[in-house]
C-alpha cells in the first residue's frame, strides 16, 4: 500500500519535470498570467498583448531571415508566414 504511493511520487515528479523541460513557455505563462476566476479582463487584455508581441516577433524574424537569404519580402510573407499560421490549424 504505502510502498506503491512512494514509488508513484517520483514518477509524478519526473513527469512534471519533463513537462517543464519540454514546454517552458507553458510554465512561464502559468506563473506570470493572473487566474481566470478573478481577473478575467486583465487576463484577456494581457493575452491580446502577448499575441501581438508574438506576431511582431514572428514577422520580424521571417523578414530578417529573408534578408539574409536574399528572398523577397512578399515571397517570405506568402510562403512562410502563411504556411506557419495555417499548418497548426490544419493539424489541430
| pLDDT tens digits in sequence order for the chain, 92 residues long | 555 555 555 555 666 666 667 677 777 878 888 888 888 898 899 889 988 888 898 889 888 999 999 999 888 888 887 877 777 677 76
pTM of the shown model: 0.60
The pLDDT value recorded for residue 67 is 93
Is residue 76 within 8 Å of 62, Cβ to Cβ? yes
Biggest alpha carbon distance in the chain? 66
The pLDDT value recorded for residue 81 is 79
The pLDDT value recorded for residue 12 is 58
| Strand spans (E) along the chain | none
Amino acid at each position: 500500500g504505502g510502498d506503491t504511493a512512494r514509488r508513484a511520487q517520483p514518477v509524478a515528479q519526473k513527469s512534471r519535470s519533463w513537462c517543464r523541460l519540454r514546454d517552458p513557455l507553458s510554465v512561464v505563462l502559468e506563473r506570470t498570467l493572473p487566474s481566470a476566476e478573478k481577473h478575467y479582463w486583465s487576463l484577456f487584455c494581457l493575452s491580446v498583448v502577448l499575441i501581438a508581441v508574438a506576431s511582431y516577433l514572428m514577422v520580424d524574424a521571417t523578414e530578417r531571415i529573408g534578408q539574409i537569404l536574399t528572398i523577397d519580402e512578399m515571397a517570405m510573407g506568402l510562403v512562410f508566414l502563411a504556411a506557419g499560421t495555417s499548418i497548426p490549424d490544419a493539424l489541430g
